[in-house]
Amino acid sequence: MSKEIIKIEDITRDFTMGAERVRALRGISFTINEGEFVTIMGSSGSGKSTLLNILGCLDQPTSGLYEIDGIKVKNLSRNELATIRNEKIGFIFQSYNLLARTSALENVELPLIYNSKISTEERRERAIKALKMVGLEDRMDHTPSQLSGGQQQRVAIARSLVNNPVMILADEATGNLDTRTAYEIMSIFQDLNEQGITIAFVTHEEDIATFSSRTIVLKDGNIIQDYKNENVQSAEEELAKLPKENH
């Protein structure tokens, strides 16, 4: 029915370290349609980050085909890849990767600096709006060292939203957060997803997966499960059910 935003066919990714070869991905195929909310699960070292980096055009597969929005990634130049990352993708890293000694606001503005179509004023407005969405409007001038882990994570989320991406790729975006904050963030993602943004979300936690519409499970670089979630939970409702003591 809706169009394919991601299509991978028989993707492999090998890392050669001296004589040794690590086969992080061993032939993976799937498609993600526009508007899907996919969680990617699997044990540590199963290749989740490797896969996400390839989907985010940060890394290239050793073999196989990758199409994003109908464009064959393999044929793109470094600059074209940069433009895709800049305009189509919001990426949230496993480690937050914020610029040190730089305010939250400037961190969020970062992707827009590399988009010459956006003026300084618009850049600022959009960054403020994104920070509001993650509830950090009163922390805009704080540098990463003045923010808690969860707040840093939310700055990273705001940064991924600021360029109005068609697709958000999140690598353990809730990994370091307590349940409440994790649910808050999941509800942000659900909102974004309702607005039509495609989301691929890497996580370890089963309960987080229940908020998504589809789950792909990796093991040793292969897909072992790929199923639709019939009973999608609302993060907002789950949040309401949590005991209020820690607030």
Partner 1 sequence: MRLLNLFKIAFKAIVLNKMRTLLTMLGIIIGVASVIAMLAIGEGSKESIRTNISSMGSNIITIRPASASSSGVRASADEMQTLTLKDYEAVKDQATFLSYATPLVTGKGQVINGSNNWPSSIYGVNPDYLKIKVVDLQSGSMFTDAEVKTASKVALIGQTVVDNVFPDGQDPIGQMIRFNNIPFKVIGVLEVKGENTFGQDQDDVVIAPYTTVQKRILAIDYINQIMASAVSEDDAPNAVTEVSEIMRIQHQISNPNKDDFSVQSMEELISTFSSTSEMLTVLLVAVASISLLIGGIGIMNIMYVSVKERTKEIGLRMAVGGKGSDILMQFLIEAILISVSGGALGVLLGLTSTVFIEKFLNWPTSVAMYSIVISFAVCAVTGIFFGWYPARKASALDPITALRYE
CB of 221 to ligand ATP, least distance (A): 7
Q: Cα separation of 72 and 148, whole Å?
A: 40
Q: Which is nearer to partner 1, 109 or 184 (CB)?
A: 109
Main-chain dihedrals φ then ψ at residue 166, nearest 5 degrees: -85, -20
Measured distance CA(169)–CA(91) in Å, rounded: 5
200 forms bridges with which residues in the sheet? 38, 169
Q: What is the DSSP letter of 241?
A: H
**How many residues interact with ligand ATP (rule CB under 6 A)?**
13
Q: Which CB atom, from 85 or from 214, has the smaller least distance to partner 1?
A: 85
47 binds ligand ATP (CB under 6 A): yes
By CB under 8 A, the residues from 118 to 157 that bind partner 1 are 119
Residue the block writes with tokens 């997966």: 209
CB of 115 to partner 1, least distance (A): 7
Choose, by CB under 8 A, the member of 93, 183, 201, 211 that binds partner 1: 93
SS3 label, residue 84: helix
Stretch that binds ligand ATP, among 42-50, 121-129, 189-197, 225-233 (CB under 6 A): 42-50
- CA-wise closest residue to 192 among 170, 216, 167, 156: 167
Nearest to 38 by CA among 212, 207, 169, 167: 212
Q: Which of 35, 47, 56, 61 is close enough to bind partner 1 by CB under 8 A?
A: 56
Q: Which one among 2, 15, 82, 234 touches ligand ATP, defined by CB under 6 A?
A: 15
Q: Is residue 190 near Mg ion by the rule CB under 5 A?
A: no
User: Per the structure block, which two tokens stand in for 180?
Assistant: 């409440």
Decide if residue 44 touches ligand ATP (CB under 6 A): yes
CB of 63 to ligand ATP, least distance (A): 16
Separation of alpha carbons 133 and 112, rounded Å: 17
Question: What is the rounded distance in angstroms from the CA atom of residue 59 to the CA atom of residue 76?
Answer: 12
The answer to whether 61 contacts ligand ATP (rule: CB under 6 A) is no
Which stretches of the chain bind ligand ATP, using CB under 6 A?
A: 15, 17, 22, 24, 42, 44-50, 94
